[in-house]
Structures are given as C-alpha cells and as structure tokens.
Chains A and B, each alone.
Chain A
Amino acid sequence: DAGVIQSPRHEVTEMGQEVTLRCKPISGHNSLFWYRQTMMRGLELLIYFNNNVPIDDSGMPEDRFSAKMPNASFSTLKIQPSEPRDSAVYFCASSLLGGDEQFFGPGTRLTVL
C-alpha cells in the first residue's frame, strides 16, 4: 500500500486566495483525521471523519475552514479566504477504526503571503 497520500506537498499562495488540500487515506481505513502543525501550537486536530461522516469538527479554527469527505478514498480541506496565520503544515491521517493506530501522510506545507 502507498500509505496516506496528500497533495500538494507544498503550496504558496497570497492572502485572500482559496486553498484546497487533498488527502487519499489508506484503502480500507474508515477513519480520517486532519491535523495542523505549527511551531507555536504544535499538532492540533482539526476534524475527524468516520465512515465519511464528520464526527468532530471542534478543532476547525473558524468558518474559513471547511472539510469534506465525499467518499471513502478522498477528503479535502479548504481554506477560503486564506490568511498568513494559516501558514502551517497540514497532515492527513487515517486509521482502520477510530481508536486504532493512525497512519500519517507526508503533509502539505502551506505558506500564505
């Protein structure tokens, strides 16, 4: 298995632009997580999906952030409009079941100018 796949690996955009991050979980996993990593705040859970349904989005910072999981093999995290303070590394992780080992993707490094 290729593991969790994220794209793009790097994204540089200007303030106010829309940003879409993509994730393909490991086949057969039914739980998907989006995390954000910054120097100041460390790793933060943004949202958790189980069987394609958002279960916990309490970590989503504000309405500018939205996440979807239209099917078991694809999820997106969208920021609109983006701001410089959104600059971070965004990780997607998946697990077989909700409480199992989470496998992380390589991350998307987002820079908002």
Chain B
Amino acid sequence: GEDVEQSLFLSVREGDSSVINCTYTDSSSTYLYWYKQEPGAGLQLLTYIFSNMDMKQDQRLTVLLNKKDKHLSLRIADTQTGDSAIYFCAETPPNDYKLSFGAGTTVTVRA
C-alpha cells in the first residue's frame, strides 16, 4: 500500500489560522481528502480536491495541492474551539474504492 504521512499534533490559538500538512506517495492518486473526527464520533468528510487542481477554497477551509512534491495542506482560517478534532488526510487511486488514511493530526485550539 501507499503511505500517507501527517504530523501528529498541532496546537493553535483561537482566532489564528491552522495549517495541517500531509505527504503522500501514490502519484496516481485521483482524489485527496480531508476528514474530521470529533471525540467519540466517526469521520466526517470536510473537503476533497481532485488531483488536477492546485487549490480549493470552501468558506474557512483552503486546500493546497503540490502534486510535484506530493504535498497536501489544509488551512483553517479563524480557528474556533469547535475545530478541535483529529484531521485525517486520505488518498484514493483512480477507479479504486480504497482510501489510504494518514495517522491523523490532533488539533487543539486554546483560548
């Protein structure tokens, strides 16, 4: 399988921007995803980006994709306490159902 790597922890002050980084190894990946997991809950799809895009913005979320470096990032503007969660990066190759997840980044928002 292919590896998806993320840093494990991020602490950010309320109101600041959060940037979560991810690297992947499968250059054929079609879609790259960001999932959010709140305590005691399942994973919720936050956003995704198609591999032929460089950037996608959705309200407070900005996804940047550097396909050359196989680097994906998620920026959360004006981070709120409700953004405290584990964020998973995931990829899927073309015509495949398998999601390869990173280990998850635990984001803690402090007042």
Chain B residue contacts of A99, Cβ below 8 A: 92, 95-97
Q: Which of B56-100 contact A (CB under 8 A)?
A: 88, 92, 95-99
Q: Does B111 contact A (CB under 8 A)?
A: no
Interchain CA distance A102-B45 in the complex, whole Å: 8
Q: Does A104 contact B (CB under 8 A)?
A: yes
Whether A98 pairs with B97 at a CB distance below 8 angstroms is yes
Q: Does A63 contact B (CB under 8 A)?
A: no
Q: Which of A4, A48, A91 contacts B97 (CB 8 A)?
A: A48
Whether A31 pairs with B42 at a CB distance below 8 angstroms is no
Chain B residue contacts of A42, Cβ below 8 A: 101-104
Q: Does A54 contact B (CB under 8 A)?
A: no
Chain A interface, number of residues (Cβ within 8 angstroms): 22
Q: Is the interface of B mostly helix, strand, loop or mixed?
A: loop
Q: Does B43 contact A (CB under 8 A)?
A: yes
Q: Which of A68-113 contact B (CB under 8 A)?
A: 91, 93, 95, 98-99, 101-107
Chain A residue contacts of B104, Cβ below 8 A: 42-43
Closest to A92 in B: B42
Q: Does A45 contact B (CB under 8 A)?
A: yes
Closest to A3 in B: B42
Q: Does B7 contact A (CB under 8 A)?
A: no
Listed from nearest, the 7 A-B pairs whose CB atoms lie closest are: A104-B42, A98-B97, A43-B101, A104-B43, A42-B103, A106-B42, A99-B97
Q: Can you report 8 A-B residue pairs in the complex whose CB atoms are below 8 A from each other?
A: A42-B103, A45-B98, A91-B43, A95-B97, A99-B96, A101-B45, A105-B42, A107-B41
Give A contacts to B, CB under 8 Å. Answer: 4, 31, 33, 42-43, 45, 48, 50, 55-56, 91, 93, 95, 98-99, 101-107
